[in-house]
């Protein structure tokens, strides 16, 4: 009985929201909004020498030092484990993190706008939002995080009106090879 596989059917509403191409227009709007937010944030950093250029790392150092000040009190905004990461990993490598954040925001924004590897882009956007939240910066991070979590759930159709419609069948998914990999496999035989 324990070795028996049971497949639990997906509810109709869930299937409609996250797997039906008729709802793809909604995910297009969400993708554009979230992608625009990321792209603009990255673009502003790209054009700011405190993030990229001669003074790279100075802006993030200020942000990270601010996060460290939020680690005190009965209910600190920044957890001790994250403060350890900030102090011992992020601050000593502020210039690297400055470039990673800038180009990461641009890449996530562009990928979401184009609908290219939408689920993966939304995952990395969520990862950045979580780090900003862990550092005590609320702003729009909770809203973007929530929208990106829904984009991850809707990855099959969120890029339907975008490049995913054409790219995913070519590259495939981890559990199903795309046309490129099927061809290579057939050639190897």
CA distance 15 to 18: 5
Using DSSP, state whether 177 is helix, strand or coil: strand
9 in any annotated domain: no
CA distance 134 to 114: 29
4 in any annotated domain: no
87 in any annotated domain: yes
Q: How many domains does the chain have?
A: 1
119 in any annotated domain: yes
pLDDT at 175: 77
Domain of residue 98 covers: 21-188
16 in any annotated domain: no
User: Is residue 174 predicted with pLDDT exceeding 80?
Assistant: no
Q: pLDDT digits over 112-134, tens only?
A: 999 999 999 999 999 999 999 99
Return the number of other C-beta atoms located less than 10 Å from residue 138's C-beta: 10
pLDDT at 92: 97
- Report phi then psi at 177, rounded to 5: -65, 145
Q: pLDDT digits over 10-37, tens only?
A: 899 999 999 999 999 999 999 999 999 9
114 in any annotated domain: yes
162 in any annotated domain: yes
H helices of 115-171, in order, are 118-134, 141-153, 155-158, 164-171
5 in any annotated domain: no
């Amino acid at each position: 009985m324990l070795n028996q596989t049971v497949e639990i059917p997906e509810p109709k509403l869930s299937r409609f929201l996250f797997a039906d191409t008729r709802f793809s227009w909604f995910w297009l709007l969400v993708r554009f909004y979230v992608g625009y937010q990321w792209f603009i944030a990255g673009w502003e950093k790209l054009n700011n020498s405190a993030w990229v250029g001669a003074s790279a790392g100075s802006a993030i150092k200020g942000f990270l030092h601010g996060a460290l000040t939020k680690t005190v009190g009965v209910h600190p905004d920044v957890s001790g484990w994250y403060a350890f990461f900030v102090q011992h990993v992020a601050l000593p490598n502020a210039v690297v993190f400055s470039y990673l954040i800038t180009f990461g925001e641009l890449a996530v924004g562009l990928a979401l706008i184009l609908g290219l590897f939408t689920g993966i882009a939304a995952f990395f956007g969520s990862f950045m939002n979580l780090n900003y939240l862990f550092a005590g910066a609320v702003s729009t991070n909770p809203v973007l995080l929530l929208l990106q979590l829904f984009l991850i759930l809707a990855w099959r159709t969120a890029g339907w009106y975008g490049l995913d419609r054409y790219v995913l069948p070519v590259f495939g998914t981890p559990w199903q090879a795309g046309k490129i990999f099927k061809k290579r496999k057939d050639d190897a035989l």
